[in-house]
A = this chain, B = another copy of it.
């Protein structure tokens, strides 16, 4: 097992636990969709003050010029990133493409700053695995062991004391939250779990590409990177670490013509006799006090129920003839799958209510 996730150990200095009244926030890579969602959430957050928004391609432009939805809401201007500009920030969010965060994180950590990285650079502990799936070498391996995986429902204590939080992938969040209790408690066979996921096009980021144009994607669906998507090792690594099994998954993402949202349909072979009520009780035992997880065995989840929110809705059904458990989950890929979960992590790191600014 690769993972060294350690929920109970925290090297974080004690002062991390004292929440400043108004926290200064910097966002690096603020002009993409996750960055824009972060700004939207943090502008409303009662304890946050956005100090800097960095975006190389948009440097010098007002935020509301790039995103007119922000008119009347902020006078912030995108800047070029510089270490000196963030030294006064209590919390730094990074929303950069893979490969770019690892060039900046070291100097931030060395400067004693607290960082939440929304990208994939610090989610895997194994740099060989990273290179295999992300197709470039990891250049900040030294910082991997200290990164804390930011799945609050499973790693709350470690997150609270973390200096560097690796915010989970969007597909990964939608898969781990429903699967972890089932795998950990031996309800389903940890081997060969099928994860068939559907994502809205915003998941591809703010790209100029024929492939993501309206005309090419509307009224269509396509699978992509079947079995080779970079979220596969992340799902497996975390599933193994938190369940103490040797879980393996076949993960297939599909693009569907919606803007926001992920629908994951998961299929596992039952490893023991069970029934709907028992599975519901199991979920309750794990998630009854998790504010953003809603389990309902009586209704299939629907993406529209979570759009614009930080919820993960979970449903499930048994196919007894085939001894299969079918599990369904939905999240908003830009919120619980990215910016919302990042703010949830920030709340935990700084001692605020977990739901603060996310209601």
Contacts and interface: CB of A to CB of B under 8 A. Distances in A.
Q: List the number of copies, as a whole number.
A: 4
A257 B257 contact: yes
B303 A263 contact: no
Contacts of A216: 304
A202 B218 CA distance: 11
Nearest to A69: B305
A313 B33 contact: no
Identify the interface centre among A69, A71, A206: most chain B CB within 10 Å of its CB: A69
A88 interface: no
A215 interface: yes
A304 B307 CA distance: 15
Interface in A109-163: none
A43 B355 CA distance: 15
A208 B213 contact: yes
A243 interface: no
Interface in A284-315: 291, 294, 296, 299-309, 311, 313, 315
A318 B227 contact: yes
A217 B257 CA distance: 11
A258 interface: yes
A91 to B, nearest CB: 22
Contacts of A258: 218-221, 256-257
Given A214-B214, A214-B217, A296-B71, A254 B263 contact: yes
A273 interface: no
A192 interface: yes
Nearest to A227: B319
Given A192-B322, A209-B208, A214-B214, A219 B303 contact: yes
Interface stretch (A178-186, A244-252, A275-283): A244-252
Interface stretch (A8-16, A77-85, A193-201): A193-201
Nearest to A218: B259
Interface pairs A-B: 7 shortest CB-CB = A227-B319, A220-B304, A201-B214, A196-B196, A221-B263, A222-B302, A69-B305
